[in-house]
Chain A
């Protein structure tokens, strides 16, 4: 069943890219918005699990799920995309540019500061949400 589900998701994911691309073109959305929609889709199951865990006071589990999915993206999706580009002989744009570059570095730095204390409260949560809000702002006005 797991494998059948994976196959179904993969089949649909392949089809999803086409209308997404066309919609962005059609409605004059910023191109980064498409990436954010794909990321939201990818993260949704894990995000639900993480927030549920935090509400049950299992912050360890919540943080593990979230950092695990970021690590998988960075550690495996980047090489996968690079391998695809090597095989198909297309150069792939990887570097983050413009205002997103300091935002990425800042987010990494803030995460380190947040997670080196071993305990967290509402303040840290608000800072992370602020960074997320800046990310949304930069999608629509880069």
Chain B
């Protein structure tokens, strides 16, 4: 199924190649910047990053990395949107979700492993994700949407199943450890950790499965931005 599809797009690509190449380079400029930055950092090693004698230099590096990661993350979403169009539902949704999650999991677990003098960084980041999304971003969406359209409606069933799972797992993961008594402090014992890992992953899998089977609950069925990915062959996009 893949071969004829890519041949066809290959033909289209050849026709557009002469003018398409420059714009392709321009479109993927973020990749050049981020790979370049990564290469420089790997070449120099961690000396530059661990240098704390020049506060200004430290801030510049921090902002540079922040901007580069942000730009690349937006590009990841753009590519995932293209793939979502090519594959159709329900696989498009799955690709979008998985790529967004892999960024998040990597960011937070590396932050946790590297933050030697800040053991709560991972927890703080996860709590902040909940508060920024449910507080700031939901608030802003409702406020701006409300100002423009007065009252907005949506499908209750889908939203309720999200909230159900979020409430259960948020309290289990972020509240319960503060009150459990097998370990001192806000941590879990090994048995509790294994239990929570299994329970969270299964519940997430069941939730994703139910959204895939039930079209009314389907998420992200339309692309987020108007994007031009007509001529990109499947394998290159992937």
Question: Given A76-B101, A135-B131 in contact, is the A8-B38 Cβ separation under 8 Å?
Answer: yes
CB distance from A85 to the nearest CB of B (A): 7
Is there contact, CB below 8 Å, between B137 and A47? yes
Question: Given A12-B72, A69-B100 in contact, is the A104-B219 Cβ separation under 8 Å?
Answer: no
Is there contact, CB below 8 Å, between A82 and B196? yes
- Number of interchain pairs (Cβ within 8 Å): 476
Cα of A70 to Cα of B163 in the assembled complex, Å: 10
Is there contact, CB below 8 Å, between B137 and A50? yes
* B117, B140, B167 interface centre (most CB from chain A within 10 Å): B140
CB distance from A60 to the nearest CB of B (A): 4
Bitwise interface map of B from 26 to 55 toward A, beta carbon under 8 Å scored 1, else 0 = 001011001101100110001001101001
Residues of A within 8 A of B126 (CB): 35, 39, 73-74, 77-78, 81
- A13-62 contacts to B, CB under 8 A, are 13-27, 31-32, 34-55, 57, 59-62
Question: B25 at the A/B interface (Cβ < 8 Å)?
Answer: no
User: Do most interface residues of chain A lie in helix, strand or loop, or is the interface mixed?
Assistant: helix
CB distance from B133 to the nearest CB of A (A): 5
Instruction: Kindly identify which residue among B120, B130, B139 contacts A31, using a CB–CB cutoff of 8 Å.
Output: B120
Is there contact, CB below 8 Å, between B127 and A96? yes
Question: Given A18-B46, A76-B200, A128-B134 in contact, is the A31-B142 Cβ separation under 8 Å?
Answer: no
Cα of A46 to Cα of B197 in the assembled complex, Å: 25
Is there contact, CB below 8 Å, between B38 and A107? no
Cα of A31 to Cα of B127 in the assembled complex, Å: 13
Cα of A45 to Cα of B42 in the assembled complex, Å: 26
Give A94's nearest chain B residue, CB to CB. B177
Question: B13 at the A/B interface (Cβ < 8 Å)?
Answer: no
Is there contact, CB below 8 Å, between A18 and B129? no
Question: Given A66-B134, A85-B193 in contact, is the A74-B200 Cβ separation under 8 Å?
Answer: yes
Question: Given A2-B79, A38-B125, A75-B200 in contact, is the A44-B70 Cβ separation under 8 Å?
Answer: yes
Is there contact, CB below 8 Å, between A78 and B128? no
